[in-house]
Amino acid sequence: MGDNQVFSIGDTTPWLTIIGLGEDGLAGLGDEAKRCIASASVVFGGVRHLELAAPLIAGEQQSWLSPFERSVEAVVALRGKPVVVLASGDPFFFGVGVTLSRRIDRSEMHVLPAPSSFSLAASRLGWALQDAAIVSLHGRPLDLIRPHLQPGSRILALTSDEQGPGQLAQLLVENGFGRSRLTVLEALGGAQERVTSQLAAQFSLTEINPLNICAVEVVAETGARILPLAPGLDDGLFEHDGQITKREVRALTLSALAPRRGELLWDIGAGSGSIGIEWMLSDPAMRAVAIEGSDERAERIRRNAAKFGVPGLTVVLGTAPEALAGLPSPDAIFIGGGGSEEGVMAAAIAALKPGGRLVANAVTTQMEAVLLTHHARLGGSLIRIDIARASPVGAMTGWRPAMPVTQWSWVKL
């Protein structure tokens, strides 16, 4: 679409109406939503939504199929006919509207949202919604909440089922946040609405409604696992066998990689996975692939990714360059191990997108020779990182130098 092109959302007559439905059912709908349901040839929705709207439905009812893509195909196949999709709350806030919009143009849709469960929860608690961390754990790993566990923070987390609140309380206790207040808000907006607040360490709620959202007022105890917001996390937070890009070098490396929202990183010779993990922590939209040849280290990377709240980190077991075949093209590449092997650097450079960044660190003379050669041929930035740490020397203190690191950074034109 050109910069000066003018369009109207109303250029196409909408055939699909997506209606947000609350726990109060038809009572919470306006006249327009009711008319759309009554006149639809087909109404899609979950079993619960179809039951709530049943008194108005005159057309065919279709409950969601598994896998969900089958239902998406069924909706698309009815293009041009009056179709209604029933959704929970706001269909475009972690909802079905987002999924359908990937296949159906916005001009073909008419959307009538209801308040989301997050909005309802904030209103019950008196919280400023814009100041709370919003996390959907529905059908997703509970570990995603970990980066948000910052002292004094407020979190609203949508869970998958009745087990979610108890599992969340356990995670809080195990990571040093047992004094955090955990409020469970069940079936908001309906006749079975219930709001219960307890400390995570004292959580004892039972018979929880599967439709619930948890509010967390984060309190950190001494020794709590708090993930700082700056790059260069403490090495001690990672599980590793010594194969880890050390804290100070990691901070400089991430600065050179220059993460931008939504980008994909290849971490070749990932070791503990620390570079890919911190890359993903910089923004929820970041993606990373850790390539590692050791089974033991690959499993360790997966454990680290979960503990840091980035379980979406992809781990590829294998060695470069063979393991790079078929991977999606990266926006940035880090080579921290195995880069001196024949063909690795050439394969990485070939795979990198135009405008992409490549950063390679060397601690061996063999790898340094590779970097010097590529710098002489392609340019870029070449720096040497020398770090010394204070340590005891008898009864006194002296500086103990770490192995120097040569770092080559390059942007592909």
Could you report the per-residue pLDDT of 336-377, keeping only the tens digit for each?
866 778 899 999 999 999 999 999 999 999 999 999 999 999
Residue 45 shares a structural domain with residue 33: yes
- In whole angstroms, give the CA distance from residue 18 to residue 83: 9
Is 361 among the domain residues?
yes
Asked if residue 71 lies in contact with residue 65, where contact means CB atoms within 8 angstroms, the answer is: yes
Could you report the per-residue pLDDT of 171-228, keeping only the tens digit for each?
999 999 999 999 999 999 999 999 999 999 999 999 999 999 999 999 999 999 999 9
- In whole angstroms, give the CA distance from residue 310 to residue 314: 10
Report the domain count for the chain: 3
Residue 244 shares a structural domain with residue 393: yes
Task: For the chain, give the longest Cα–Cα distance.
Answer: 87
Residue 248 shares a structural domain with residue 372: yes
Could you report the per-residue pLDDT of 140-176, keeping only the tens digit for each?
999 999 999 999 999 999 999 999 999 999 999 999 9
Residue that the structure tokens 């790059």 belong to = 231
Residue 177 shares a structural domain with residue 164: yes
Average pLDDT, the chain: 94
- Tokens representing 39 are 């006149």
- In whole angstroms, give the CA distance from residue 311 to residue 11: 42
pTM: 0.90
**How many other C-beta atoms lie within 10 A of the C-beta of residue 313?**
24
Is 4 among the domain residues?
no
- In whole angstroms, give the CA distance from residue 277 to residue 269: 14
Which CATH number do you get for residue 40?
3.40.1010.10
- At 337 the pLDDT is 66
Domain ends where: 185, 217, 249? Answer: 217
Residue 250 shares a structural domain with residue 198: no
- In whole angstroms, give the CA distance from residue 203 to residue 180: 11
Give the total residue count for the chain.
413
Strand, coil or helix: 352: coil
Residue 130 shares a structural domain with residue 110: no
Residue 159 shares a structural domain with residue 173: yes
Domain ends where: 80, 114, 148? Answer: 114
| Residues contacting residue 91 through CB under 8 Å, at least 6 positions apart | 18, 19, 20, 85, 97, 98, 111, 113
Is 390 among the domain residues?
yes
- In whole angstroms, give the CA distance from residue 190 to residue 124: 13
Could you report the per-residue pLDDT of 87-119, keeping only the tens digit for each?
999 999 999 999 999 999 999 999 999 999 999
Percentage of the chain lying above the pLDDT 70 cut: 97
- In whole angstroms, give the CA distance from residue 363 to residue 401: 13
- Tokens representing 401 are 């130098």
Residue 341 DSSP symbol: S
Q: Which of 7-16, 203-212, 273-282, 309-318 has the lowest mean pLDDT?
A: 7-16
Residue 305 shares a structural domain with residue 373: yes
- In whole angstroms, give the CA distance from residue 247 to residue 227: 14
Asked if residue 88 lies in contact with residue 118, where contact means CB atoms within 8 angstroms, the answer is: no
Residue 289 shares a structural domain with residue 406: yes
Buried b (16+ CB within 10 A) or exposed e, 164-202: bbbebbebbbebbbbbbebbbbbbbbbeebeeeeebbee
Which CATH number do you get for residue 142?
3.30.950.10
Q: Is the pLDDT of residue 4 over 90?
A: no
Is 173 among the domain residues?
yes
What is the pLDDT confidence band of residue 1, given thresholds at 50, 70 and 90? very low
Residue that the structure tokens 């103990």 belong to = 400
Residue 242 shares a structural domain with residue 146: no
Is 228 among the domain residues?
no
Q: Which residues pair with 43 in a beta bridge?
A: 61, 84
- Tokens representing 390 are 């204070």
- At 3 the pLDDT is 52
Residue 109 shares a structural domain with residue 249: no
Domain ends where: 94, 114, 134? Answer: 114
The full DSSP string for 401-412 is EPPPEEEEEEE-
Percentage of the chain lying above the pLDDT 90 cut: 95
Is 338 among the domain residues?
yes
Which CATH number do you get for residue 381?
3.40.50.150
Is 372 among the domain residues?
yes
Is 3 among the domain residues?
no
- At 9 the pLDDT is 47
H helices of 14-144, in order, are 31-39, 47-53, 69-76, 96-101, 117-125
Residue 98 shares a structural domain with residue 202: no
- At 342 the pLDDT is 83
- In whole angstroms, give the CA distance from residue 114 to residue 87: 9
Closest CA to 159 of 202, 215, 217, 86: 215
- For residue 203, the enclosing domain spans 118-217
